[in-house]
Amino acid sequence: MKFSRILFLPIAAIALTLSSASFADNQRRIDIDSKVVTQHKAKINNERFSYTVATGTQPVWDDKGDAIATLQYTYYTRDKVDDRTKRPLLISFNGGPGSASVWMHLAYTGPRVLKIDDEGYPIQPYGVKDNPYSVLDVADIVYVNPVNTGYSRVVEDKDSNLLPKDKQKELFFGVNADIKYLAEWLNTFVSRNERWRSPKFLIGESYGTTRVSGLAHELQNSQWMYINGVVLVSPTDIGIKRDGPVKAANRLPYFAATAWYHKALNADLQAKDLDELLPEVEQFTVDELIPALAKGGFIAPDEKRRIIKKMAEYSGLSETFVSQNNLDIPTQFFWKELLRERGKMVGRLDSRYLGIDKRDAGESPDYWAELTSWLHSFTPAINYYLREELNYKTDIKYNLFGNVHPWDRSGNNTGENLRLAMAQNPYLNVMVQAGYFDGATNYFDAKYTMWQLDPSGKMQNRLSFKGYRSGHMMYLRHADLESSNNDLREFIKQSIPKDGQSAKY
C-alpha cells in the first residue's frame, strides 16, 4: 500500500510528499487578473500632491478570448485631477529584449528611485528614496513588463497545459509578435482605466525603442489609438541600417567622449569642454572619416596617415593600434585598450565605470563593470519596493532578465513604421535621449538614426535630440536625472496640442 511505503520514508521525505499531495493547488503561479491599490504622497518639481498606485496583472487574450499570458504592470495616477481627459498618460517599456520595466521605473521617471550615489554607484543599505524630478506632476505613468519579464508569465489553459515553446515564440518572442500582442494588451488597459481621451506618450529604452517605434504605428493602424509623442532612450537601430563605413566611423565620437572622461586625450583636447569637443569630432566623422573608410584598401597613403593621426588623437588610442585595426576599431577592443596601461578596463553600457580583469592582455573585458554595479542596486530595490511599499506579494520570481530567446529579429521595419505613424498623425512628435558614454547604443548612432528617420526632412521640426554626460541609463547620474526629466516634462507639455488645434497639415 502507498500509505505503508510512506511510513518507512525519512520524516523530511514524508513532509515533502504530504505537502505535494495536500497543497497541489498552491503551486507558484501569478494571478492572471489582479490589482493592489496603495496611496502615497510626493513632492515633485517643488509641488506637493498625493498619488495612487495600482500594481497588478492583466491578461493577454488569444483570438478565442482565452487568457494565454498575463502581464504585470504598475500604474501611477495623480490624485485630485479635475479633468483626466487632459491628463497625459506615459506608457513605459524597457528593452533587452527580455528586460523588465524596472530600470526607468526605479531610476528615471517614477516617484521613487534607487538609493545610489550621485554618479550612480550602489550604496548600502539598498532601497529607494523620493524622486523630486519625476514627471508624475505632469503625466500619469504605467510601467509594463512583457511576457517572461518581471512577474509577467505565460499561463496554463483550462487543462493545465502551457502553450508549446514554438507557439510561445510565435506569439510573444519576436520584433513583430511583441508589438502585436502588446498593442492588444494596451487597448484593454486603456479601456479598463478609461484613458481613451487622454493624450498618450510612449517611452522605451534600448530595445524598448524598437518596441515603442513599432507600437506607435500598430496602435494607430490596428487599435485606432493615436499617440502624441514617442521618446527613444538610448535607441537601437530600429531597423535603420548602419553598416559598413558608417558603422565603423560612428563609434569615434563615443570613443572621444570616453577618452575625455578618463583624461586620456592630449592636453589641447583635454582642455576643451565636452560640448566643444564632440561637435568637432562629429564633423570629422561625417566629413572625413566615413569617406576615408569607404575607400577601403585603396585610400591614398598620405590620407590614411592623416586619418590615423586624427583618430588616435580623438580616441586616446595609439596610432599603431588604429593602424593595426585598419581604422575600424571594435568596441570591445576599445574597452580593453583605452586604460590597459593603468590596469583597468571600461564599461560597455556606461564607460565611466571601471573594472579589473584577470589579465591586462587580451582583446575584450572579462565582464561588464557597469551592469554588475547596477544589479547591486536594482535587484533588492524592486523586490523590496513592490512587496513592502506597494504591497504586491507573490512567490513568483521577479525576472530582471527573462527567457525570451531565441528572439525573432526578422522583418524589423519599426523605424519606417515610426516615420509612417508620424506622417499619418500631425500630432506625433519624437524625442531621442542618449548618454555620451554609452558604448552599447552609442549616442552618435542615435543621432544618425534620427537623421535617417525622415529622409524628406519635412518632419525635422518634430524630431529632437538630447545628450547627457552619462551612459546607457543616463538618469543614474544625479545631474542627468534632473535634466533628463526636465527635458521629458517639456517634451510632454509641448507635444499636447493647444485647445482647438486640429490635426492637419
Q: How far apart are CA 135 and CA 190, in angstroms?
A: 20
The model's confidence at residue 161, banded by pLDDT at 50, 70 and 90, is confident
Q: Residue 379 CB: number of other CB atoms within 10 A?
A: 14
Q: Are 44 and 6 in contact (CB under 8 A)?
A: no
The pLDDT assigned to 4 comes to 31
| pLDDT tens-place string over residues 209-255 | 999 999 999 999 999 999 999 999 999 999 999 999 999 999 999 99
Terminal Cα distance for the chain, rounded: 82
Residue 25 pLDDT greater than 60, yes or no: no
Residue 71 pLDDT greater than 80, yes or no: yes
Residue 10 pLDDT greater than 90, yes or no: no
Q: What is the mean pLDDT of the chain?
A: 93
Q: Of the ranges 27-31, 332-336, 439-443, which one carries the lowest mean pLDDT score?
A: 27-31
Q: How far apart are CA 349 and CA 340, in angstroms?
A: 19
| pLDDT tens-place string over residues 465-488 | 999 999 999 999 999 999 999 999
The pLDDT assigned to 5 comes to 29
The pLDDT assigned to 371 comes to 87
The pLDDT assigned to 160 comes to 83
Percent of the chain with pLDDT over 70: 95
Q: What is the average per-residue pLDDT within 310-316?
A: 98
Phi, psi of 48 (to 5 degrees): -95, 135
The model's confidence at residue 26, banded by pLDDT at 50, 70 and 90, is low
Residue 12 pLDDT greater than 50, yes or no: no
The pLDDT assigned to 406 comes to 94
Q: Of the ranges 110-119, 154-163, 190-199, 315-324, which one carries the lowest mean pLDDT score?
A: 154-163
Q: Is the pTM of this model over 0.75?
A: yes
Q: Of the ranges 67-71, 161-165, 294-298, 481-485, which one carries the lowest mean pLDDT score?
A: 161-165
Higher pLDDT, 3 or 330: 330
| pLDDT tens-place string over residues 83-140 | 999 999 999 999 999 999 999 999 999 999 999 999 998 888 999 999 999 999 999 9
Q: How far apart are CA 208 and CA 210, in angstroms?
A: 5
Residue 6 pLDDT greater than 80, yes or no: no
| pLDDT tens-place string over residues 245-287 | 999 999 999 999 999 999 999 999 999 999 999 999 999 999 9
Residue 23 pLDDT greater than 70, yes or no: no
Neighbouring-strand partners of residue 401: 99
Q: How far apart are CA 420 and CA 93, in angstroms?
A: 21
Q: What is the dihedral of CA 205, 208, 214, 215, to 10 degrees?
A: -90
Percent of the chain with pLDDT over 90: 90
DSSP state, 473?
S
The pLDDT assigned to 13 comes to 32
Cell readout for 35 is 490589482
The pLDDT assigned to 461 comes to 97
Q: How far apart are CA 499 and CA 502, in angstroms?
A: 9
Q: How far apart are CA 9 and CA 14, in angstroms?
A: 6
Residue 307 pLDDT greater than 70, yes or no: yes
